Amino acid sequence: MAQTIPRLQMGGKRVVLAVTGSIAAYKAVGLLRLLTQSGATVQVVMTEAATRFVAPLTFEVLSGSPVTSDLFAGHQDMKHLSLTERADLLLVAPCTANTLAKLALGLADNVLGTMALTLQCPLVICPAMDGDMWAHPTVQAHAETLRRRGAVLVEPEIGELASGQCGQGRLAAEETILATVEAIVQPRLDWQGERVLISAGPTQEPIDPVRFLSNGSSGKMGYALAEAAVLRGAEVVLVSGPTRLPRPSRVTVVPVVTADEMLHALTARFDWATTVIMAAAVGDFRPKQALSHKLKKEEWTGESLQLERTPDILLALSAQRTHQRMIGFAAETDHLLEHGQSKLRKKQLDMLVVNQVGGQQSAFGRDDNEVMVLTPDAPPVHMPRMPKRQLADKLLDHIGQVPVRAVRPSPASSSPSQ
Ligand SMILES: Cc1cc2nc3c(=O)[nH]c(=O)nc-3n(C[C@H](O)[C@H](O)[C@H](O)COP(=O)(O)O)c2cc1C
């Protein structure tokens, strides 16, 4: 029989797991198991609605402690205040739209709301709801209020929802939630002292003021890397093409649109960086001439769009390289290894992460990914499909092992950190 090997990364840590009335409440049982396997002591709090979805008994047996759900029961212990007194983290998973609103507004009509107002420890919120609910401006405003106040939001994923429809609203994968919780309560800080420059997302090349050439990159991989690196102690600048992703906390985000703007933004920060990770899907072509006015249907005479190459950002940065570790990403539809090896050599990279794009398994837009990692002096490493946030940590582990090659002396006055 397969055995789970305990990871005990959170030994001695105390987590309060708050479960709310979402259809995903049953997934909190799996999360509780992962947290306890990781060594954490877990106290479960449930909203009244959550108890309609999963019996508290399940959580009581698995956590080894009584579940708190009634604000007025056992009031002698003042549980709503005392539970989080010695907690290292409050994890709300799944978090309903209703509870998200209560937390943002400071409503205190249940145990969780009351507890949140006296909280001294980090708050991690994992929303789960119907896609239209998550997209609603009110819900987004509450999410943003909580982010600004320092809460960490683990974004819901895109996929099939309870309604049978596909959309963004599904509770993030257990591994993604656990990686976030572990990084907060037991920070590894192995990237402290590193200055990481990351590019993410697509670029857009204008055809006219309303149309552009672009690609289907969501930016999720680059954002996940930025989030993971900052939690591991790095200073991070994220140069991002247009995405719909929220700004990761403690990361400096430089928004850009075109390949030229991306090159400019990256070049300006290149000397500062100790590691450069180019996860953006930079468009290879752009219209030779962008029109200054919107091309009307009637104006178009059927001539084809003239394209030209955009700057090769990886090659341009690689040529200026002094002390930086250089990591590239390649999106390939076929012959992943051959195309990847050739790119690794041509662009003189320390590592190339090759994604499959196109088709059912396309890396674009998904919350998970499977990659091949190529380095100049070692055989390729296959990283199986996993949530992008978890993959980000695995890639950082790998990148951390890459020896830094001094290519030529840095013109910068500040000497590199290693
Ligand atoms: C079958 C069913 C499934 C539900 N799933 C969700 C959900 O996934 N997310 C959500 O925000 N609300 C969901 N709701 C609505 C909440 O249960 C409702 O807003 C409730 O008041 C939440 O209370 P709480 O935030 O105190 O737990 C669901 C309701 C029902 C009946």
57 CB contacts (<8 Å, ≥6 apart)? Answer: none
* Claim: this prediction has a pTM higher than 0.85: no
Distance CA 411, CA 309 (A): 29
Cα separations (Å) of 35 from 20, 48, 98? 18, 23, 25
- Asked whether residue 57 falls in the same domain as residue 205, the answer is no
- Asked whether residue 152 falls in the same domain as residue 218, the answer is no
Residues tagged active-site: 215
Distance CA 375, CA 400 (A): 13
In a domain, 407, yes or no: no
Nearest-atom number in ligand 1 for the CA of 112 is: 26
Atom 11 of ligand 1, residue of closest alpha carbon: 96
SS3 19: strand
401 CB contacts (<8 Å, ≥6 apart)? Answer: none
- Asked whether residue 136 falls in the same domain as residue 223, the answer is no
Q: Is 231 exposed, middle or buried (0-12, 13-18, 19+ CB in 10 A)?
A: buried
Q: Are 364 and 216 in contact (CB under 8 A)?
A: yes
In a domain, 132, yes or no: yes
- Asked whether residue 176 falls in the same domain as residue 221, the answer is no
- Asked whether residue 18 falls in the same domain as residue 138, the answer is yes
- Say which CATH number the domain at 78 has: 3.40.50.1950
Is the pLDDT at 411 greater than 60, yes or no? no
- Indicate the number of domains in the chain: 2
3 band by pLDDT with thresholds 50, 70 and 90: very low
Distance CA 353, CA 372 (A): 6
Distance of CA 19 from the midpoint of ligand 1 (Å):
11
Domain range holding 314?
195-291+305-400
Centroid of chain to Cα 173: 12
- Asked whether residue 180 falls in the same domain as residue 69, the answer is yes
Centroid of chain to Cα 207: 31
Atom 1 of ligand 1, residue of closest alpha carbon: 23
417 band by pLDDT with thresholds 50, 70 and 90: very low
- Say which CATH number the domain at 311 has: 3.40.50.10300
- Asked whether residue 339 falls in the same domain as residue 374, the answer is yes
What pLDDT is stored for residue 74 in this prediction? 63
Distance CA 410, CA 271 (A): 7
Give the pLDDT confidence of 158-173 residue by residue, as tens digits: 888 887 888 889 999 9
Distance of CA 101 from the midpoint of ligand 1 (Å):
12
- Asked whether residue 156 falls in the same domain as residue 207, the answer is no
Output the ligand 1 site: residues, CB below 6 A: 20-24, 47, 49-50, 96-99, 128-129, 133
- Asked whether residue 365 falls in the same domain as residue 233, the answer is yes
Distance CA 191, CA 181 (A): 18
Nearest-atom number in ligand 1 for the CA of 21 is: 27
Distance of CA 130 from the midpoint of ligand 1 (Å):
10
Give the pLDDT confidence of 212-263 residue by residue, as tens digits: 999 989 999 999 999 999 999 999 999 999 998 988 888 999 999 999 999 9
Q: Are β-strands 378-387 and 157-160 bridged in parallel, bridged antiparallel, or unpaired?
A: unpaired
SS3 408: coil
- Among all chains, which residue has been given the structure tokens 């390289």? 321
To test ligand 1's pocket by mutation, which of 26, 54, 96 has the most ligand atoms within 8 angstroms of CB? 96
Give the pLDDT confidence of 7-41 residue by residue, as tens digits: 578 888 999 999 999 999 999 999 999 999 999 99
In a domain, 155, yes or no: yes
What pLDDT is stored for residue 368 in this prediction? 86
Q: Are 209 and 292 in contact (CB under 8 A)?
A: yes
To test ligand 1's pocket by mutation, which of 19, 23, 51 has the most ligand atoms within 8 angstroms of CB? 23
Distance CA 172, CA 377 (A): 36
